C-alpha cells in the first residue's frame, strides 16, 4: 500500500538511473501462475506448483554459472524445470505444445497493482530500466501485455551473465555511461540488493510480502544497509520526489 506521509529522500538528485528487478518486484509471478493453473489445470494445487517451479530457478542458473550448462536463456531454464516438476503434479502426460504454452506463462505475468503507475511516475524524473535475469523476449512481451512503460529493457542476456554476477550491475551502468553510484537498483530481494551495493550502486528495497502467496508471507522488515525502503512503487515515487499528476 502507499504511505500517506512519505519522507522525501535527501539524495534523490544523486541518482540518474533506476534499474528494476522484475520477478516478484514488479510482477506477481506466484499469483499469475496460480490463476493460470486454476484455468488450465484446476485439479492441480496452483500455489504449490508455482512455488515448485520457482524453487528450481536458482539451481538452474547455478548450472549455467558453474559451466555445467552453456549460456542458456531463462525461457529454456524454465522449460527444463517445468519438465522436471510436471510428473510431481500429475501432468506428465502433457504434450510438447501444451508444455510450451504453459512455459510462456512467464511472459504473461500480471504487474502488481502499483507497478504501472509507479514506473510511469518514476520515469518522469529518472531513466527506468529492467535489470532482470529474464531474457529480452520474455521481458518485452511481459511489458507489452502488462503495460509497463519502461524506458529501456535490459537483461542478463545482454551481458551473458546472471545476477548476482557484477557484470550485470556494472554493465547496466556502462550502457547509460554513468558511474555505478548514480544508479539505483530497485528490488524486493535483499541478496540482489547486496550484490548491487558491492558494485557501488545505490539500493531501494520494495516490500512484496505476498510474493510467495498470502499463505507464506515474507519478512519485509527494513534493513539499514539499503538507501531506501518503500511499501511499493508509488511510495518509492513519493520518496524520490516524483509526484502524481494533479
Q: What string of DSSP letters covers 191-229?
A: HHHHHHHHTT-EEEEE--TTTT-TTSPPP----TTSSEE
Which grid coordinates belong to 106?
Answer: 512467464
Indicate whether 76 and 66 sit together in one domain. Answer: yes
Residue 82 Cα to chain centre, angstroms = 19
User: What's the pLDDT score for residue 21?
Assistant: 98
Q: Kindly report which listed range (6-10, 177-181, 201-205, 230-234) carries the lowest average pLDDT score.
A: 6-10
Q: Are residues 114 and 60 in the same domain?
A: no
The pTM is what?
Answer: 0.95
The contacts of residue 110 (CB under 8 Å, 6+ apart) are 27, 28, 31, 32, 35, 146
Residue 4, pLDDT > 50, answer: no
Q: Cis peptide before 164, with omega less than 30 degrees from 0? A: yes
59 in a structural domain: yes
In angstroms, the CA 171 to CA 159 distance is 7
Percent of the residues in the chain that have a pLDDT greater than 90, as a whole number = 95
Kindly report, residue by residue over 45-84, the tens digit of the pLDDT.
999 999 999 999 999 999 999 999 999 999 999 999 999 9
Number of Cβ atoms within 10 Å of the Cβ of 163:
22
Burial bucket for residue 59 (CB in 10 Å: 0-12, 13-18, 19+): exposed
Q: How confident is the model at residue 245 (pLDDT cuts 50, 70, 90)?
A: confident
Which percentage of the chain shows pLDDT scores above 70?
Answer: 97
Confidence of residue 2 (pLDDT cuts 50, 70, 90): very low
Contacts of residue 200, defined as CB under 8 A and 6 or more positions apart, other chains included, come to 179, 180, 181
Q: Which residues contact 196 (CB under 8 A, 6 or more apart)?
A: 19, 169, 185, 187, 203
What CATH code is carried by the domain that includes residue 103? 1.10.150.240
* Other beta carbons less than 10 A from residue 70's beta carbon: 8
At 118-156, the pLDDT tens digits run 999 999 999 999 999 999 999 999 999 999 999 999 999
CB 160 within 8 A of CB 64: no
Q: Which three cell numbers stand for residue 132?
A: 532482470
Model confidence over 105-123: pLDDT tens digits? 999 999 999 999 999 999 9
Within-domain flag for 245 = no
Question: What pLDDT is attached to residue 246?
Answer: 59
Q: Which of 86, 107, 128 is the last residue of a domain?
A: 107
Residues 101 and 200 in one domain: no
Domain that holds residue 177: 12-28+110-239
Closest CA to 109 of 154, 76, 78: 78
The answer to whether residues 19 and 154 touch, using CB atoms and an 8 Å cutoff, is yes
Read off the pLDDT of residues 157-175 as tens digits, 9 standing for 90 and up: 999 999 999 999 999 999 9
Same domain for 211 and 234, yes or no, is yes
Amino acid at each position: 500500500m502507499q504511505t500517506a506521509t512519505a519522507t522525501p529522500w535527501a539524495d534523490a538528485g544523486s541518482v540518474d538511473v533506476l534499474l528494476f528487478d522484475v520477478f516478484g518486484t514488479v510482477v506477481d509471478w506466484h499469483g499469475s501462475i496460480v490463476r493460470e493453473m486454476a484455468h488450465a489445470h484446476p485439479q492441480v494445487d496452483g500455489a504449490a506448483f508455482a512455488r515448485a517451479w520457482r524453487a528450481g530457478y536458482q539451481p538452474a542458473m547455478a548450472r549455467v554459472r558453474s559451466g555445467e550448462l552453456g549460456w542458456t536463456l531463462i525461457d529454456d531454464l524454465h522449460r527444463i524445470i517445468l519438465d522436471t516438476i510436471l510428473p510431481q503434479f500429475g501432468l506428465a502426460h502433457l504434450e510438447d505444445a501444451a508444455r510450451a504454452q504453459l512455459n510462456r506463462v512467464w511472459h504473461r505475468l500480471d504487474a502488481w497493482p502499483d507497478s504501472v503507475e509507479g514506473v510511469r511516475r518514476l520515469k518522469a524524473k529518472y531513466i527506468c530500466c529492467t535489470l532482470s535475469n529474464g531474457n529480452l523476449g520474455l521481458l518485452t512481451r511481459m511489458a507489452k501485455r502488462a503495460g509497463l512503460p519502461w524506458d529501456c529493457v535490459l537483461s542478463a542476456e545482454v551481458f551473458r551473465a546472471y545476477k548476482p554476477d557484477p557484470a550485470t550491475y556494472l554493465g547496466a551502468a556502462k550502457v547509460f555511461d554513468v558511474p555505478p553510484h548514480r544508479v539505483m537498483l530497485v528490488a524486493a530481494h535483499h541478496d540482489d540488493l547486496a550484490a548491487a551495493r558491492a558494485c557501488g550502486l545505490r539500493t531501494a528495497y520494495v516490500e512484496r510480502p505476498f510474493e510467495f502467496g498470502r499463505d507464506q508471507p515474507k519478512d519485509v522488515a527494513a534493513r539499514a544497509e539499503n538507501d531506501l525502503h518503500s511499501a511499493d512503487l508509488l511510495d518509492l515515487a513519493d520518496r524520490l520526489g516524483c509526484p502524481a499528476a494533479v
